[in-house]
Amino acid sequence: MGILDAIQTGLTELLSHKMRSMLTMLGVIFGVAAVIAMVSIGEGAKQEALDQIKQMGIDVIHIRRASITGELANRAEERSPFGLKASDARIIDEVCTFAQMVVPTREVFADVKVGEKPVSVKIVGTTSGYLSVSKSELQSGRFLRDKDIHDHLSVCVLGAAAKRELFGFDDPIGKMVKANNRLFRVVGLIKPKEIGSAKAFSTMRDLNSDIYIPINVSETDFKIASQQAVPSDVIMLQRIAQKLMSKQSPENSSLSEVIVQLDSEEATGPAASIIRSILNRTHRGIRDYEIIIPAELLKQSQATQRIFNIVMAAIAGISLLVGGIGIMNIMLATVTQRTREIGVRRCIGATRWDIVRQFMLEALVITCMGGLIGIVAGVGGAKLISDFAGWRTMVSMQAIIVSFGVSALVGVVFGMYPAVRAAMVDPIEALRYA
């Protein structure tokens, strides 16, 4: 019996016991489908993390204002009452000569309107370098200039979502936006930035909803959006004191974030250590700030993803193992059922190798059919997860090839024993088998 004849015999055997064959293949189907679907989820999450890291910038360090409570807040009021402040950005710029650019930002509360309709957007005071460090691009108009800050001009640049909320499909350039009863002329529009269906990092926020104004305008006319927590019985006095002191000294003006751009990804680690030492000294040991390194976030995400992939592969492997055991059991039952057929074939000249090959190919037919169905189920499952759960998925050709190869290997490994057992049947005893 040739290979094609053996495969045809295997298919005939499958079709003659459809329910049994389907139940036998279930373990392989579930295992292959699980591998493909889980790897697709993992690849999608990995790609989303990479995209978000590119948006944050692989060569930047984010220093953000942190809210503190309890005893630490009381100590902060004595040692570092202003949190992250303008002088921190200045010192980092002066001391860290390796920094390509140091850009302060100040997220502020504001009642934003066009006409009488209030809109939920965020106003960010910043400088001309923000466009570069945020990896943003202009769609039309221009970004903030040093002259805008020097002359204290009431101009603003809109993110894509902010433009849509305020002006719909109209061209906003040259039009006015009211924020805290102050009018700002729109001078630029930023291209939309994709942030993915689900944020890979909690530190990511939607930049499309931001409105950018000169940082010194945000200092004088707006209240910062994230003040550190302080005890309620002294909060009013501290607010008054901070306001008076900040007016007397612009260096004490509170910031939301300082972004430091470096010349390479490799420089972010050492630079972060230096910046941490500087801030620890200027803040007198109070950790009312956090340093975020996107490159480190990416490494942590990839490490977590590797663990996730290993766990999912182990679960899928168990499904394939169970499927293989099921195939072995069915093949052993098939050998017993077809003992007389084996004896007839041996008597008319079939060798033991012919019998082994026949039953091995039949086991391979079962697992390969299960593998093909599993591939369809896995790809379909990844698509359903993407559509209904909103997760990004990417079907990996490597996962398809590996999972199908493993399913074929299962057929070889678990079909070997039944095939050898069939070949060892004594022809004379087989012919007597009823």
Percentage of the chain modeled with pLDDT above 90 = 14
Q: Are residues 287 and 174 both part of a single domain?
A: yes
Q: Are residues 64 and 125 both part of a single domain?
A: yes
Q: Are residues 206 and 235 both part of a single domain?
A: yes
Q: What's the DSSP call for residue 139? A: E
Q: Are residues 334 and 254 both part of a single domain?
A: no
Q: Are residues 106 and 30 both part of a single domain?
A: no
pTM of the model: 0.66
Task: Give the chain's count of helices (H) and strands (E).
Answer: 15, 12
pLDDT number for residue 226: 55
Question: pLDDT at residue 230 above 50?
Answer: no
Of the candidates 203, 191, 255, 202, the one whose C-alpha atom is nearest the C-alpha of residue 224 is: 255
Q: Identify the band that residue 175 occupies on the pLDDT scale cut at 50, 70 and 90.
A: very high
pLDDT number for residue 248: 46
Q: How many domains does the chain have?
A: 2
Please indicate whether residue 381 or residue 427 has the higher confidence score (pLDDT).
Answer: 381
Q: Are residues 143 and 265 both part of a single domain?
A: yes
> How many other β-carbons are positioned within 10 Å of the β-carbon of residue 107?
22
Mapping DSSP to helix (H, G, I), strand (E, B) and coil, where does residue 186 land? Answer: strand
Left, alpha or beta for 115 (phi > 0: left; psi -120 to 50: alpha)?
left
Q: Are strands 182-190 and 155-158 parallel, antiparallel or unpaired?
A: parallel
Question: pLDDT at residue 243 above 50?
Answer: no
Render pLDDT for 247-280 as a digit per residue (tens, 0 to 9): 445 666 788 889 998 888 778 888 888 998 988 8
Specify whether the CB–CB gap between 112 and 178 falls below 8 A. Answer: yes
* Domain end position, chosen among 270, 297, 324: 297
Q: Are residues 46 and 90 both part of a single domain?
A: no
Give the torsion sign (CA, 256, 100, 210, 53). Answer: negative
Specify whether the CB–CB gap between 91 and 245 falls below 8 A. Answer: no
Q: Which tokens in the block code for residue 10?
A: 């295997």
Q: Are residues 275 and 313 both part of a single domain?
A: no
Question: pLDDT at residue 377 above 60?
Answer: yes
Render pLDDT for 194-227 as a digit per residue (tens, 0 to 9): 765 545 555 566 788 899 999 988 888 777 765 4
Q: Are residues 242 and 321 both part of a single domain?
A: no
Q: Are residues 83 and 227 both part of a single domain?
A: yes
* Domain end position, chosen among 239, 269, 297: 297
pLDDT number for residue 235: 40
What is the rounded average pLDDT of the residues 404-430?
82
* Domain end position, chosen among 268, 297, 326: 297
Element spanning 182, H or E: strand 182-190
Q: Are residues 270 and 331 both part of a single domain?
A: no
Rounded Cα distance, 28 and 370, in Å: 6
Percentage of the chain modeled with pLDDT above 70 = 84
Q: Are residues 292 and 306 both part of a single domain?
A: no
Render pLDDT for 44-91 as a digit per residue (tens, 0 to 9): 877 877 777 777 777 888 998 877 666 666 665 655 666 788 888 889
280 contact partners, CB below 8 Å, separation of at least 6:
287
Mapping DSSP to helix (H, G, I), strand (E, B) and coil, where does residue 392 land? Answer: coil
Question: pLDDT at residue 94 above 80?
Answer: yes
pLDDT number for residue 289: 82
Render pLDDT for 113-171 as a digit per residue (tens, 0 to 9): 887 777 877 899 999 999 888 888 899 999 999 999 999 999 999 998 889 888 888 89
**Domain hosting residue 46, numbered range:** 3-52+300-432
pLDDT number for residue 239: 45
